[in-house]
Amino acid sequence: MSNRNEHPATTTVAVIGAGPVGLAAAAHLIERGLTPIVLEAGEGPADAIRQWGHVRLFSPWRFDIDSAARRLLESHGWIAPDPDALPTGAELIDAYLAPLAKTPELAEHIRYGTRVTAVARLGVDKTRTIGRDGRPYLVRTRTTEGEWADLVVDAVIDSSGTWGQRNPLGAHGLAAPGEDADAAWAAGPLPDVLGSERNRFAGKRTLVVGMGHSAANTLLNLAQLAEQEADTTVVWAIRGDSPTRLYGGGSADALPARGTIGTRLRELVESGAIELVTGFTIDRFEPHADGSVAVVGNIAGVEQIIETDHVAAATGFRPDLDMLREVRLEIDSTVEAPAKLAPLIDPNFHSCGTVPPHGEADLAQPDEGFYLVGMKSYGRAPTFLLATGYEQVRSIAAALAGDREAADKVELELPETGVCSSSRSLEATSIAEAGEAGGCCGSTANADAGCGTSDTAAAGSGCGTAAPEPVSVGRGLATGVLHGYSGERRELPQLQPATGSCCG
């Protein structure tokens, strides 16, 4: 039998990924007298967050910093940012994660430009049972220079996230014919609409596909751009028959700033500033010579075509499990999360505020000493919170050090409803202006890292009112809430500043 609860021989632990949860894991391991080896594919800490650095978190700084990481930083004279300020992703890195990664205790253990390609038990493949327990792990890596290396460690914490594994835009969970993430029209999940990519979207027509918080951020920023730049139009397509889930709890939300994002989005749709297409499934993409594309789909079995310059793919992410093929895992067949954790986070039943506390016992795998943590532990569920990840790795570090009591003492309290990060178009200069009392999807003890970027289908059958024949929708239409397309042309109403507790 495996001695999972004790891990008496654990000394070295490979931590895959140097994001917030990975670096927090390393800090907790060091406090426990263990040696982390942090393997980061990017050239600096939190490389994935850097790619959406323009997005502002709802959590003020006081809730964005792991406890062990704070203790380590403060031992070197670090002064935390204004606890009431709301950081962007880039500020989270520059003011917290980069200094943390540079501390002498952590810096010597981090290897940048090093991608993990496979993990296995040393000397045996997945099918070998006799003599399997107690074996160390072999972690195979490849550097950006193409050099291969094998590391041998006692345990592995995989916090590599899901950012590089986008869900496809096509129906059935499969990429549609013509779908190409590198095409001129492909905008990615969180384009910097109001910043570095402004000129790309100004005066153009953009289709946003998805119903998660990344879709909401992009839609709000595009709507603001449309106020400032003539001929900028925004279309939003979802598979379900209603966007109500993304609108959230509004004024009933436990975090007013979070509720305002849904309220603002609803206002923009109802005013016609954002064209909403419901019940839309994508069948294929037909690119044009000018770089634009015809998105061919159907509503209730009737073909519909959306002509657009850009497509923002906000359909969420999925974990990369291929590199773990030789590790014995118990993964839920639906959510693709650890089997014990999956029912606690299933988005069919839970929002980010209703996920119960969980720690090492819920994350342990049949191969002892191996753990999925952070966003990757949530598989395809969009309910992940940074606070949850911090608690996961605290519990795991305790278990690896043999402190079962501390590992099992898991505490997490989260308010319900809402999406979990703000957009640049809804910035507040201080918590006082926002009227926000706690972090996103967290109470005064919790934090937010964007709540993930996954999208799940909207509730309902997904069937809309059938149009009598295929309709091609050209640029410049602004018809408000659409269930299918009427082709009716209206003038865009003048947008008013968003109201509510979130907006300065």
Closest alpha carbon to 139 in 395, 375, 326, 401:
326
3-state SS of 405-470 is HHHHCCCCCCCCCCCCEECHHHCCCCHHHHCCCCCCCCCCCCCCCCCCCCCCCCCCCCCCCCCCCC
CB 400 within 8 A of CB 461: no
Which tokens go with 283? 């069948």
pLDDT for residue 84 = 86
User: DSSP of 476-495, one letter per residue?
Assistant: T---SEESS------PPPPP
What is the end-to-end Cα distance of the chain in Å, rounded?
59
**C-alpha 176: how far from chain center:** 23
CB 18 within 8 A of CB 112: yes
pLDDT for residue 422 = 40
* Ordered domains of the chain (ranges, CATH): 12-53+88-164+317-409 (3.50.50.60), 171-314+454-482 (3.50.50.60)
Which tokens go with 404? 């079962």
**What pTM value is reported for the model?**
0.79
Burial of 112 (0-12, 13-18, 19+ CB in 10 A): middle
pLDDT for residue 384 = 82
pLDDT for residue 9 = 62
Residues 484-504 pLDDT 10s: 333 333 333 333 323 222 222
Contacts of residue 147, defined as CB under 8 A and 6 or more positions apart, other chains included, come to none
**Below-70 pLDDT ranges, the chain:** 1-9, 248-259, 350-354, 413-504
pLDDT for residue 455 = 30
The torsion of the CA quartet 53, 95, 401, 403, rounded to 10 degrees, works out to -100
Assign residue 435 a region (left: φ > 0; alpha: ψ between -120 and 50; beta: otherwise): left
pLDDT for residue 259 = 58
**For the chain, what is the mean pLDDT?**
80
CB 166 within 8 A of CB 315: yes
